[in-house]
Amino acid sequence: MVAHFARVVEAAGYGLVVSPVFEDVEVFQRVGDSTDVVRKEMYDFEDKGGRRIALRPEGTASIVRAFVQHRPAVPWKTWYAAPSFRYERPQAGRYRQHHQLGVEAIGTADPDLDVEVVSLGWSFYAALGLQRVGLLLNSLGDEVCRPGYREGLRQYLDGRRGELCDEHKIRLDDNPLRVLDCKSPGCVAVTAGAPRQLDHLCEPCREHFDRVKAGLDAGRIPYSIDSRLVRGLDYYTRTTFEYIGFALASAQNAIGGGGRYDGLVAEMGGPATPAIGLGLGIERTLLACDAEQVLTAADTLPLLDVFLVDFAGGEAARDLSTELRAAGLRVDRAFDHRSPRAQLRAADRSGARLAVIVGPDEATSRSVELKDLRAGQGTGQETVARSEVVDAVRRRLDAGC
Ligand code: HAM
């Protein structure tokens, strides 16, 4: 799954970044003091030196911290596959340690980047073979239009405070947008008629959102507008989105999500820098794959180009694996002087497209035999000079073996 993701995002210029599993708690507090992720779910503790530390609850904060610290050239396009920790009641699709595949693109406000990021998630799910995936889209406005909307929403909800769930009766004033996300029947009923941010966007936010929608339309990526989609973290501005796995039970069917966070870099002490990203839950995506019965062994990426079979002593396997790998090919081999039959079985199981075979005859004549591992018995075999092996393998792989 990580290899599929890497292939999709690296093709768009995103580079792998590995960030620490734990950091100073303040790094993560910036994702929002009024969010469940920070208030209730963070694994924070004091280390032996009395420092307040937290296990990473999500990937964005660490990447932004790294950006502020190291100031790479922009746009800085990164990807990661990262364990994340949230203290919650474990249940199907909700774990205390889960894993996210994510991208963060820092340094441009261009709405075409929003389209790129949303499309990457969409392409990844398509590459896995998932078909029952939906995309929800919203805009949360910016520091110009959101405060007015937020106050209007607060007043509206205040008028019906008695009908809200117990938590939001008390916490409504901290962040009224959170109520839109609440699944309790009282909050859902009250927010059904609440003012929508989409009706209160300022002109630049409206234009931005229109361009994002036009880009998704042009890419034939279907989406539904969901004006309640505020997401569970406070840093979002403008575009927010979520991917829904329709094959999963609705409580945990958000298989991924993301959005713009144009204010977070400045809030972490860097220069004002717009950014956007996404995070996809690996476990939920695997559950969706199970439910849709995709990702069988045959669907996974072939990890190997060549499997070396050497029953002439092992020296050829040793030397050819080095030579072929140095030429950029993906190569594995058998060890322990196993029988020709056992090595050929291992070659078949390996997923490689070609076997390079060296027996005593080939060792003597300085040749190798190439065998297409997907063709039937006796077909697709060819003898080539040992000195030609890299070119011959490349030619066969290019021609589909
Ligand atoms: P998030 O929606 O909190 O966003 O998490 C992303 C995805 O991780 C969710 O859609 C879900 O699939 C998975 N996930 C979250 N919590 C759990 C859990 N306890 N158990 C299993 N899976 C889980 C973020 O974390 C943002 N950092 C995404 C982002 C990146 N926004 C901008 N850039």
Three-state SS at 196: coil
> Which tokens is 258 given?
């993301």
Asked whether 259 and 230 are in contact (CB, 8 A), the reply is no
pLDDT score for 378: 62
Tell whether ligand 1 has an atom less than 6 A from the beta carbon of residue 240: no
Tell whether ligand 1 has an atom less than 6 A from the beta carbon of residue 277: yes
CA–centroid distance, 138 to ligand 1, in Å, is: 17
Query: Buried b / exposed e across 5-18, counting CB within 10 Å, b at 16+?
Result: bbebbeeeebeebe
pLDDT score for 374: 86
The rounded distance, in Å, linking the Cα atoms of 241 and 108 is 18
Summarize pLDDT for 33-75 with one digit per residue, the tens: 778 888 889 999 999 999 999 999 999 999 999 999 999 999 9
**Residue 165 pLDDT greater than 80, yes or no:** yes
Query: Buried b / exposed e across 194-228, counting CB within 10 Å, b at 16+?
Result: bbebbebbbeebeebbeebbebbeeeebebeebbb
CA–centroid distance, 58 to ligand 1, in Å, is: 7
pLDDT score for 233: 85
For 22, counting Cβ atoms within 10 Å of its Cβ (0-12 exposed, 13-18 middle, 19+ buried), the class is middle
pLDDT score for 217: 97
Q: How confident is the model at residue 379 (pLDDT cuts 50, 70, 90)?
A: low
First to last CA, the chain: 25
Angle at 399 between CA 397 and CA 401, to 5 degrees: 55
**Residue 377 pLDDT greater than 70, yes or no:** no
pLDDT score for 303: 77
H helices present in 282-339, as ranges = 282-292, 315-326
For 3, counting Cβ atoms within 10 Å of its Cβ (0-12 exposed, 13-18 middle, 19+ buried), the class is exposed
Percentage of residues in the chain having pLDDT higher than 70? 97
Give the pairing type, strands 22-24 and 381-385.
Answer: unpaired
Summarize pLDDT for 347-360 with one digit per residue, the tens: 999 989 999 999 99
Q: Which residues contact residue 325 at a Cβ distance below 8 angstroms, ignoring those fewer than 6 apart?
A: 331
Tokens 């100073």 -> residue = 24
Tell whether ligand 1 has an atom less than 6 A from the beta carbon of residue 60: yes
Q: Ligand 1, closest atom to CA 242?
A: 10
The DSSP code for 302 is P
CA nearest ligand 1 atom 20, residue: 94
CA nearest ligand 1 atom 28, residue: 279
Q: How confident is the model at residue 175 (pLDDT cuts 50, 70, 90)?
A: confident
**Residue 9 pLDDT greater than 60, yes or no:** yes
CA nearest ligand 1 atom 3, residue: 232
Q: How confident is the model at residue 95 (pLDDT cuts 50, 70, 90)?
A: very high
Q: How confident is the model at residue 296 (pLDDT cuts 50, 70, 90)?
A: low
pLDDT score for 365: 94
What is this structure's pTM?
Answer: 0.87
Tell whether ligand 1 has an atom less than 6 A from the beta carbon of residue 19: no
Q: Is the dihedral of CA 202, 207, 210, 216 positive or negative?
A: negative
pLDDT score for 298: 44
Peptide bond before 75: cis, by omega within 30 degrees of 0? yes
Residue 328 has phi, psi (to 5 degrees) of 95, 10
Residue 328: CB atoms within 10 A of its CB come to 9
Tell whether ligand 1 has an atom less than 6 A from the beta carbon of residue 255: yes
**Residue 196 pLDDT greater than 50, yes or no:** yes
Residue 61 has phi, psi (to 5 degrees) of -60, -40
Q: What is the amino acid identity at position 47?
A: D
**Residue 293 pLDDT greater than 60, yes or no:** yes
Q: How confident is the model at residue 302 (pLDDT cuts 50, 70, 90)?
A: low
Tell whether ligand 1 has an atom less than 6 A from the beta carbon of residue 256: yes
Asked whether 128 and 1 are in contact (CB, 8 A), the reply is yes
* Closest to 117 in 3D by CA, of 281, 277, 280, 285: 277
CA–centroid distance, 213 to ligand 1, in Å, is: 23
Average pLDDT over the chain, rounded to an integer: 93
Q: Of 24-28, 119-123, 149-153, 172-176, which gets the smallest average pLDDT? A: 172-176
CA–centroid distance, 280 to ligand 1, in Å, is: 6
Asked whether 109 and 143 are in contact (CB, 8 A), the reply is no
Tokens 């389209």 -> residue = 115
Of 55, 124, 284, 289, best ligand 1 pocket probe by most atoms within 8 Å of the beta carbon = 284
Return the H-helix or E-strand segment holding 115.
Answer: helix 111-128
Tell whether ligand 1 has an atom less than 6 A from the beta carbon of residue 279: yes
Beta strands in 173-232 (DSSP E): 224-225
- Dihedral-angle region of residue 294 (phi above 0 means left; psi in -120 to 50 means alpha; beta otherwise): beta
Summarize pLDDT for 74-90 with one digit per residue, the tens: 999 999 999 999 998 88
Q: Ligand 1, closest atom to CA 95?
A: 20
The rounded distance, in Å, linking the Cα atoms of 259 and 29 is 18
Higher pLDDT, 77 or 178: 77
